[in-house]
Chains A and B, each alone.
Chain A
């Protein structure tokens, strides 16, 4: 499978715990995006990487959120001190540098109890 891969698919955590999600983009893609999708809403942009550089962060990305893309390959999204409002689907997407189409992973569904 050469698509965008996300791990885990589902995560249930207690409020206050830290969680980390991983995204493996399509290998030739320079650009990587993280989106958050809550129930009944469309995906909302969180952050963007071009290779290893994080070039944009949404104001939705509070101080408790951090994303990395070491070596410009896979990316991780960490949420510290999770809150119930963090419950959502976290989507990763990747694209070519000059491409218009973003390819999405299946997402990680986070439930904070």
Chain B
């Protein structure tokens, strides 16, 4: 079984600053995906960024980047130039590669961007 741990229930950051959200996971699998999902207040969850475990290069999507440390089973999300629209719950998630596999989510980090 896989577990995903987010140890920061809440965080805040000043607009235009950089913030890093932490995530650790535990698995015995070798091939998997890691995700960060964003859930704005009263809105649907959307995928922010995805990392394939076999890729050593960290994924980036515009202002969002990850620091993937496979040996340490760590997967942090860095948000640069934070914007008010980044205020949301952020969930780290895990999925084994191949066929159908359900996604396992962490408990989330509530991020508040302060003007």
Which interface class (under 10, 10 to 19, 20 to 34, 35 or more) fits A? 20 to 34
Q: Is the CB of A42 within 8 A of B100?
A: no
Q: Is the CB of A105 within 8 A of B107?
A: no
Which interface class (under 10, 10 to 19, 20 to 34, 35 or more) fits B? 20 to 34
Q: Contacts A100-B95, A101-B50; is A91 near B104 (CB within 8 Å)?
A: no
- Chain B proximity mask over A34-54: 1 for CB below 8 Å, otherwise 0: 000000111111001010000
Residues of B within 8 A of A (CB): 4, 6, 9, 33, 35, 37, 42-47, 50, 91, 93, 95, 100, 102-108
List 19 extra interface pairs beyond A33-B102, A42-B6, A56-B102, CB under 8 A. Answer: A3-B44, A33-B103, A42-B4, A42-B93, A42-B106, A42-B108, A43-B91, A43-B103, A45-B102, A48-B100, A48-B102, A50-B100, A91-B45, A100-B33, A101-B47, A102-B47, A102-B103, A104-B37, A105-B44
